[in-house]
Amino acid sequence: MRIDIIDTDAGFEAIRENWDAVFMADPHARHFLSWGWLRDYMPRRKRWFILALRERTEGSPYVAFFPLRLVTEPDKKTGRFHDSIVMAGNAAADYTGFISRPDYENHAIAGFCSYIRQQNWTELKLDYLCGGPERRDAMIQALQGPLVMFRDSMPTNPYNINNCICPVVSLPETFDAYLESHMSSQTRQKLRRFLRKGGGWATNTASPSQPRDTLKREMDILFDFWRVRWAPHKGKERTELLIGATRQMLMDVWLRGDLEVPVLWFGDQPLGALANIIDRQKKSVLFYITGRDEDWKTPSPGLVLHGHCIRRAIEQGFKTYDFLRGNEPYKYFFGPEEHKLSCTLFRTRSGDNLGGTLHPRSVRFVYEQALKLYKSGKKSEASIAFGQMLSAAPDHLGAQFGLANLAFDRGEFRKPRSPFSASSQQATNPSSFGWRIGETLRCATALSRASEPSQVTNVRVPPGSTLQMRGSADCRRTTDGGGGNPRKAATLSFRRCGASGICRKSPRRPCTAGKGKDHGSATARCHQACRQTENDGQALASAKGFGLKTSPCKLRQKNQACRLARISDVSDQQGHARSRRASP
């Protein structure tokens, strides 16, 4: 057998007939694995891909399909990105999994699991897998091992609802036969009475044949009821997100002609609404969402609406009425049978991706995230992301350029020169790389020039004091901590300050040593060196490589070109505060 990867819209369009044939042959396939539903849903989600199984013979048709999607998130503790493989329909599909011709199901499980084991992932989430327990058990057997563990991951909720149970009603030939075989006598009498016309009751159904405005009105009624019911429990923001996503999905279904929205009215007052997906291939009606007036008690809007829809489905020749996920008590009034799903989480024992690297399909996504981290100032996290990218794709120019920029920002001007040069040789447009190379060389030269020692003699500084000269820069003289090294002990560090032009000696006393001509010359030399490096720092702001803004060089910043000069001092014995420039 052979597995092909389909990950483009054109590729998915090309296999429609083959997909439909496999979908109809699989007794476990449901609407959310149909070609039409996935065609509308998957393009709205990124990084989807489909495993397609066929015989090795050239031109042989596909016999199984497994739609999947990749999700990548950073670990909150380590900052490393991890990949998860999830079902393509997750978040909207009540049924997920793969579809297969029955005679190839075992080959499909073996082939798909073998492929998945070779991928780079931390978690594999088989949520709401349909197909019975035998499929789940076979996949567990094929996927578990010394590197991978698994557990049941059925979600819990505060309402004690089991979302791995789907109540499904099998529909007979007539509605009367349904009432007699599926309902209690009391419920049957109520439903018959409420479904009779008269008494001000009316049920209108928005269908594909009706205008969009009619559908919009009915869906507004539905979601207004749903909002009132669930906003206090889910929160306003999350409620609106769910409504937006559900409305969009249902509109896609309506455009395909597979949506009905019945509304129950009492006069001009709406009492409740449903949204049903019509699966014409499998002859099934799927109840997706409802909303009703919570203050209206009799008749129950839900009982009337579902009874109306079941009667309509029987009249149109449908075989099942599927309540989808959730074992809410009201669904059992209609005589359903339970279909069970499974949720299984596979996770690597190491807590990192298999193989220790990103999935190849995640490299571009992580690169985009790394750029966002860099631009937001989270450079440590950006460095981790760029490093992960290079582990997965060593020739990735963006990651090389990103790490080089981070080294540049740290003032390590020699390190990024080689990556910038290598990147410029491979890039189709090397101008931005050339700009960075030039700035790197310039800053490295400025750092080297600024580090050259100058000598000031005949300046007496008492032990433990600090000499500050304020102008274009501050010079701070430290006389202790030199470890016996007179040059190190006499190092003056320069800092930017206000241009007051005043010389002072710490602690806060007027400096009488700065009145001599020679001392003024030394001060001017300090100011000149500071201005030169400040100009070099301003040049950094014009660097346009990497699409990032670079602030001027801050002379106090660690590892930057902020140490402008090293001035050795020779103190005279009289303590006179005269100063002059020394001969070289």
Q: Is the pLDDT of residue 73 over 60?
A: yes
**Token output for 520:** 């003024």
What distance in Å separates the CA atoms of residue 395 and residue 582, rounded to the nearest whole number? 53
Q: At what angle do helices 185-195 and 175-182 cross, to 10 degrees?
A: 150
What distance in Å separates the CA atoms of residue 501 and residue 527, rounded to the nearest whole number? 10
Closest CA to 93 of 245, 231, 227, 244: 245
Q: Assign 386 a pLDDT band (cuts: 50, 70, 90).
A: very high
Q: Is the pLDDT of residue 559 over 90?
A: no
Q: Is the pLDDT of residue 83 over 90?
A: yes
Q: Is the pLDDT of residue 185 over 90?
A: no
Q: Beta partners for 583?
A: none
What are the sequence ranges of the domains in the chain? 2-162+343-348, 165-340, 361-413
Rounded mean pLDDT, 154-158: 80
CATH topology classification for 2-162+343-348: Aminopeptidase (3.40.630)
CATH topology classification for 165-340: Aminopeptidase (3.40.630)
Closest CA to 132 of 157, 102, 158: 102
Q: Give the 3-state secondary structure of 152-184.
A: ECCCCCCCCCCCCEEEEEECCCCHHHHHHHHCC
- Weakest-pLDDT range from 19-28, 226-235, 453-462: 453-462
**Token output for 6:** 């389909």
H/E segment holding residue 45: none
Q: Is the pLDDT of residue 437 over 80?
A: no
The percent of residues in the chain predicted with pLDDT above 90, rounded, is 47
- Give the chain's mean pLDDT: 76
pTM over 0.85: no
Q: What pLDDT score does 33 carry?
A: 96
Q: Assign 205 a pLDDT band (cuts: 50, 70, 90).
A: low
Q: What pLDDT score does 441 carry?
A: 52
Q: Assign 527 a pLDDT band (cuts: 50, 70, 90).
A: very low
pLDDT tens track for 347-368: 999 999 999 999 999 999 999 9
**Token output for 106:** 């075992």
Q: Same CATH topology for 2-162+343-348 and 165-340?
A: yes
Q: Assign 58 a pLDDT band (cuts: 50, 70, 90).
A: confident
Centroid of chain to Cα 95: 24
Rounded mean pLDDT, 82-101: 93
What is the CATH code for 361-413?
1.25.40
Rounded mean pLDDT, 37-45: 90
The percent of residues in the chain predicted with pLDDT above 70, rounded, is 68
CB-based burial label for 236 (10 Å; 0-12, 13-18, 19+)? exposed
Q: What pLDDT score does 11 carry?
A: 94
Contact 143, 113 (CB under 8 A): yes
Encoded amino acid at 330, one letter: Y
CB-based burial label for 133 (10 Å; 0-12, 13-18, 19+)? exposed
